[in-house]
Structure formats: C-alpha cells, structure tokens
C-alpha cells in the first residue's frame, strides 16, 4: 500500500499500491467495495475529491486517472511526459494538480479533464502537492530539501529552507496559518505561511526512527507524526510533545493518517483505529479490523 485517502464523509477509504490498482474500502467493516483497474504501472498517490464522487490516482505509467466512485468508470486520463509522482484536488473540487518526474506541475479541470495551466521551469523534482484550505496556495516538496509555497493566482513562490535531507511529507493546518513538513532528517518542522519562519523543529527521542507520516488534528491545535515504532502528538502552538504511543507489534505496523473525526489509523496485518481526545490530549483504542484481500 503506497497511499490512502479518506472520503469527505469519512466512511470510505481509497488506497493504491504497486499492484497497479486503486481500492475502495468501507471504513466501518473493512470490506473492499471496488477495485479500480486500468493503470499499467504502480499507483503511487491517490486523492478523494472534496465532493466524494471522484478519485484521482497518480501512476508511474505517466498518467493521472479520474475515477467515478459509484460506477468505477475512468472518466479522464491525464498525461505527463514521465511518471507522475503526486496528485491532489483543490478544496473547491474544481481543479486537480499533478506533479511529474518531468519537473512540471499541471493544473487540470476535474470535470472536463482539460489542462488549465502548466507550471514549468522547476530545476528539481516535485514529489508532493498540497492545497491550502482556501485553495489560494499550493505547498510542494522537492528533492532539494525544501518546501515551496506557491500562490496559485499570483504565481509568487516562497521557499522554506532548513531541512537537511529530502522532505517526504507536507500538510497545511486547517486554518492555513501553518505548514508542517516531515523529512528524512527525522524532524518535523512547522512553518508560518505568512512570514516563512520555522516556528518549531520537532524530533523523536530515538534518532534511529524512520518518520512515516504527519497530520494535524481537526482543529489544528496538534500535529501528529508516525515513526517506524511509535507515534507522537505535539502541541502545534508551543512545540511541546503531549503524547507518545509505542507500537506493540513493531516493525510490522505501518502508520497511515489522522482522520477528521479525531482518530488515526495504523495498519499492518490488520487496521487499528485510535481515537484522539483533543481536549485532554488522550488516546483511546477504538478497535481492530482485519485487512480484506
């Protein structure tokens, strides 16, 4: 499994993998509802539209495919000159952004599949794309150890520098005032989107840990990070570590994401759902569900 994406209603989960497929799961019972086939290479990224009626998938076969969630039909095939590395929807759901090994980022009309803009001139690979909550900005990660914040309308770019290795993940806070980035240097950095300053540099106590993923809590007060054998929850305002979870079956557990309903999922041979209580910064184990084949 390479990537997952929640539906807006939080009742479905899309996943993608090296088997060239996108799979749709029922979050409640873990059943596989549909398998989307058509890609001829590994599917490396997947994203639900804000309306929940469409899924975008990015593949090493140089294409992005837009799928109808209910029928499973491929509505559009969007092309790059080289393998596609990342895909994401704008919050309004009218646009899809994709980044490719060809060093371009393209903005597409999700209804017609037409390419609206091609952003060229990048000297390094764009590895991830994330829209701001209002859709006016796009944060990208590159293989030059930076995070870049692009104004979609004005074309202005702000560069966040400080990581010592390749940045693997980036996410906006729900309010859009912060960007969090995770890196192979095993740090999470929180950036002010207006000033560009690094507010906090967060680390695990174990510097041998591999950092897998990051996400903000629904209110934006906390930032969670998943390492190879533990998960940590920090106060996004102060940078203080408020809670640590050590996996009892590491290293088979692969952490995935924090949902908008105050829970996060970890997966290995089964899916585990944990409820995060934001008021008291606590944790409750909500259950375990076997992965369907």
Q: Give the CATH H-level superfamily of domain 1-122.
A: YVTN repeat-like/Quinoprotein amine dehydrogenase (2.130.10.10)
Task: Please identify which residue in the block is written with the tokens 């899924």.
Answer: 55
- Hey, how many other C-beta atoms are within 10 angstroms of the C-beta on 73? 11
Contacts of 256 (CB under 8 A, 6+ apart): 4, 213, 226, 264, 265, 266, 267
The mean pLDDT of 6-12, rounded to a whole number, is 90
What pLDDT, in 10s, does the model give residues 77-89?
999 999 999 999 9
**pLDDT greater at residue 156 or residue 7:** 7
Lowest mean pLDDT among 90-94, 97-101, 217-221, 271-275: 271-275
| CA atoms of 210 and 227, how far apart (whole Å) | 5
Max alpha carbon distance in the chain (Å)? Answer: 49
What pLDDT, in 10s, does the model give residues 173-213?
999 999 999 888 778 999 999 888 999 998 865 555 566 67
Sequential DSSP letters for 119-140: E---SS-EEEEEE-TTSSEEEE
| CA atoms of 266 and 228, how far apart (whole Å) | 11
Q: For residue 31, is pLDDT > 70?
A: yes
- Residue 103 gets the label, from left (phi > 0), alpha (psi -120 to 50) or beta, of left
What is the pTM for the complete model shown?
0.73
The distance from CA 126 to its chain's CA centroid, rounded to whole angstroms, is: 14
Cβ atoms 198, 187 nearer than 8 A: no
Q: For residue 286, is pLDDT > 70?
A: no
Reported as a pLDDT band with limits 50, 70 and 90, residue 35 is very high
């Amino acid at each position: 499994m390479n990537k997952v994406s929640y539906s807006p209603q939080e009742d479905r989960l899309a996943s993608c993998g090296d088997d060239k497929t996108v799979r749709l799961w029922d979050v409640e019972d873990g059943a596989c509802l549909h398998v989307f086939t058509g890609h001829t290479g590994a599917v490396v990224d997947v994203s639900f539209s804000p309306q929940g009626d469409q899924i975008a998938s990015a593949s090493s076969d140089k294409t992005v495919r837009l799928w109808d969630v209910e029928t499973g039909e491929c509505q559009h095939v969007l092309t790059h000159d080289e393998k596609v590395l990342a895909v994401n929807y704008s919050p309004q759901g009218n646009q899809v952004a994709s980044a490719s090994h060809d060093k371009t980022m393209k903005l597409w009309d999700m209804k017609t599949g037409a390419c609206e803009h091609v952003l060229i001139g990048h000297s390094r690979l764009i590895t991830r794309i994330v829209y701001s909550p209002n859709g006016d900005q796009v944060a990208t990660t590159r293989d030059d150890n930076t995070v870049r914040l692009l104004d979609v309308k004005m074309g202005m770019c702000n560069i966040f520098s400080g990581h010592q290795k390749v940045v693997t993940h980036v996410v906006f806070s729900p309010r859009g005032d912060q960007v969090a980035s995770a890196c192979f240097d095993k740090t999470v950095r929180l950036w002010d989107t207006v000033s560009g300053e690094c507010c906090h540099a967060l680390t695990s106590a174990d510097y041998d840990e591999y950092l897998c993923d990051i996400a903000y809590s629904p209110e934006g007060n906390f930032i969670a990070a998943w390492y190879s054998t533990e998960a940590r929850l920090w106060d996004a305002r102060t940078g203080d570590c408020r809670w640590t979870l050590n996996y009892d079956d590491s290293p088979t557990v692969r952490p995935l994401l924090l949902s908008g309903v105050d829970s996060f999922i970890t997966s290995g041979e089964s899916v585990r759902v944990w409820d995060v209580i934001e008021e008291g910064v606590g944790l409750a184990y909500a259950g375990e569900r076997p992965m369907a084949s």
